[in-house]
Structure 1
């Protein structure tokens, strides 16, 4: 009945030459205004590290500005996490710090500095949310020969879709090489990144047999280095246990596993803006200052 009355009202108004449009608050502005004062919101105390194309009027975007990302980045403050320099945020000034699918692109020592900085910058009770590819599940998918797990490779199969990253369609090479690309991109033979070391299917399995999990991940990522012109490469690996260790080392006492859309902060439960990158293969961890 309600929808019927709304439809009738809409037609009546339209007869007078007006369009009725439902305005959706995709930014959850009302929720921000309920939780924070106007002065607090004007300071934009919510920080997205590695923001890419993310935009929210109350958030501050920090990212590594590079031609690699083209015109994707929006309103970002440039910061090189590999420099291991302080984040451009004052001490105890941040309400929330969010970083999604960023830490796998930098080396472990730089990740520890990032986590240390997050602890420094957050206010008491502030939330730090981290998402990254789940290295354990990715490895299990390889062992189980689960080709479907690596579903994103299909996005780089057609001509014109893969040439900036791969020599050949992403799904045209052995599964071990596709797995390697998610872990240590520059070592994958199909990746066009320059590297003195490229490991074949046979060599990958030999390394797995020799080192086992997770030591093989340390071995392979240890062969990688950060390439300034290809910041999108993966060069480090992460599991829940490893994230807990690094966050605890940074000083966080309250560290816990989260899930898709399950943030402690209601502001980060908006899946239109958060947790939208490869949720199937991601781990979600939070820490409260």
Structure 2
């Protein structure tokens, strides 16, 4: 009887990333000994989540102080989750500091503005980062509270309905008008997609960052549920109030535009 070959040894090296959101594995490979040991006990995304939540807990502790600045102010224009795209003359809100961020705040619990003190709230590719059941109802209720009568909430998100139609069509051709792809690689995130479903998951999940995917029907539903009676689907560069058009041109191909008037 021939002797059986020994079982293969388990690799102790970090798996090689396949291309879609590989940053966590690359970070593990560069990490020090302590972090690599912790990675054996916890998912890598755990560390980013803990760091993010501790940061925002500190912002919430400071929230009453930040809100004092806006007491008595009216006719405010507010951009939430502005990132590097803050605008002059606006209250540019973000939980991370930036060149034009003038209000460091966690929008998931409340907004630091008086009732009916805001002319417009603009949110581009932010709402999909909020939890649908816990955080979206709070955020939209706060927008409704802060907006003056006739004030506008303009929300822009990735249009999941269009992506699903592109997926159902089969192949890659219907994705090209939505998302810049060069030989299957994402021009925005530099990731290589091997299958259309990888691209769909990148849109819906973006690693651990996206929490919900919206189509027009669902976004309209949550806005009406928050109390907005006047809800209209818009398009890039078109608004009931032209001042609300801060839209980024490079996201227009994949975006869903919706406005709700208080």
State the TM-score, normalized to the length of structure 2: 0.64
1:148 aligns to 2:176 (yes or no)? yes
Question: 1:68-95: per-residue Cα shift (whole Å, max 9, x none)?
Answer: xxx5x522312223xx311111111100
Is the CA contact (8 Å cut-off) linking 1:97 and 1:118 kept in structure 2? yes
Is the CA contact (8 Å cut-off) linking 1:100 and 1:277 kept in structure 2? no
Figure out how many residues of one structure are paired with residues of the other and give that number: 186
Is the CA contact (8 Å cut-off) linking 1:153 and 1:170 kept in structure 2? no
Distance 1:123 1:287 in 2: 12
Name structure 1 gaps, 5 residues minimum: 1-41, 187-226, 228-232
Secondary structure at the residue paired with 2:154? strand
Match of 2:101 among 60, 75, 80: 75
State the TM-score, normalized to the length of structure 1: 0.58
Name structure 2 gaps, 5 residues minimum: 1-72
Question: 1:216-257: per-residue Cα shift (whole Å, max 9, x none)?
Answer: xxxxxxxxxxx6xxxxx2221111111111111111111111
Distance 1:156 1:103 in 2: 27
Secondary structure at the residue paired with 1:151? coil
1:262 aligns to 2:235 (yes or no)? no
Distance 2:191 2:227 in 1: 40
Distance 1:135 1:179 in 2: 9
Distance 2:89 2:112 in 1: 17
Tell me: CA distance 1:178–1:282, structure 2 relative to 1, closer, same or farther (3 Å).
Answer: same
Is the CA contact (8 Å cut-off) linking 1:95 and 1:122 kept in structure 2? yes
CA RMSD in angstroms comes to 2.6
State the match for 2:254 in structure 1: 281
Task: Write the mapping of 1:43-192 to structure 2, written as runs, cut at 5 A.
Answer: 45-65=76-96, 74-81=100-107, 84-109=108-133, 110-144=135-169, 145=171, 146-149=174-177, 151-154=179-182, 157=185, 170-186=191-207
Is the CA contact (8 Å cut-off) linking 1:48 and 1:61 kept in structure 2? yes
State the match for 1:29 in structure 2: none
